[in-house]
A and B are shown apart, each in its own frame.
Chain A
Amino acid sequence: QVQLQQWGAGLLKPSETLSLTCAVYGGSLSGYYWSWIRQPPGKGLEWIGEINQRGSTNYNPSLKSRVTISVDTSKNQVSLKLISVTAAETAVYYCARGRGRQSGAAFDIWGQGTLVTSSS
C-alpha cells in the first residue's frame, strides 16, 4: 500500500523560503506525476505544480516564478521550495500522487498535510 509521508518547517517569517519533502513508501515514483497542493485555512484547494520521475515539471503560472519542485529518485522523494512567502500563503500543504490521463489524471493518494504558517 503506497503511503506518502511529508515533513518540513511549519513556521516561517514573511520573505523566507518554504521547504517541504514528501517520501513515497511502498511504491515507485515511476508512472505517475507527483503534485503539491495547498489549502489556506477555511478555503479551497490550489494546485502548485507537479513533477515526474524524470524530473519533468509543470507549475501553476501564478506561482511559477517562485516555486521549484524537485525529485530524488535514490530516496523516492519529491520536494517543494517556494521563495519569498507571504502571510497570505499560510496554508496546509499536501503532496499527492497524480495518475495518468488514461485513469482520469486524478490525485489518488495524498500525504498527511503540513501546516505552514508565515507570520512576523
Chain B
Amino acid sequence: DIQMTQSPSSLSASVGDRVTITCRASQSITTFLNWYQQRPGKAPRLLIYAASSLQSGVPSRFSGSGSGTHFTLTISSLQPEDSATYSCQQSDSSPRTFGQGTKLEIK
C-alpha cells in the first residue's frame, strides 16, 4: 500500500494568514493526489483533484501543487469558515489511501 503522510498534524493560524499543508507519498503517484476538507460531523468535501485542479465551486484561495511524492495545499488568505480537517488522498493505485489529516484551527 502507498502510505500518505501529512504535516503538520495540527496548526493554528489567524484570519488572513497564508497556510500551507504538506503531504508526502511513500512512492511516486505522479499527480494522482486529491485534497479534501472535512468539518466536524460532516462528510469530506473535494477541494483539489489531480494535485492542482480546483474543484468546481471551491474558492480560489485554495490551491494545490506538487508531483511525484511531495504535494502541498495552500490557503492564500485564511477565512473563519476554513476551520476544518484537511486530508490528502492518493488515487494512483489500489488500495486508495488517505493521509491522517491536518486539523486547522482559526485563532
Contacts and interface: CB of A to CB of B under 8 A. Distances in A.
B100 A44 contact: yes
A62 B94 CA distance: 12
Nearest to A59: B95
A104 B95 contact: no
A111 B43 contact: yes
Contacts of A103: 49-50
Interface residues on A, range: 20 to 34
A47 B96 contact: yes
Interface string B30-52: 01101010000011111001110
Interface string B73-107: 00000000000000101010011111111000000
A104 B43 contact: no
A45 B95 contact: no
A15 to B, nearest CB: 25
B26 interface: no
Given A46-B98, A104-B49, A110 B55 contact: no
Nearest to A108: B46
21 contacts: A44-B87, A44-B99, A44-B101, A45-B44, A46-B98, A47-B97, A59-B95, A60-B95, A61-B1, A62-B95, A103-B49, A103-B50, A105-B34, A106-B46, A106-B55, A106-B89, A107-B36, A107-B46, A107-B89, A110-B45, A111-B43
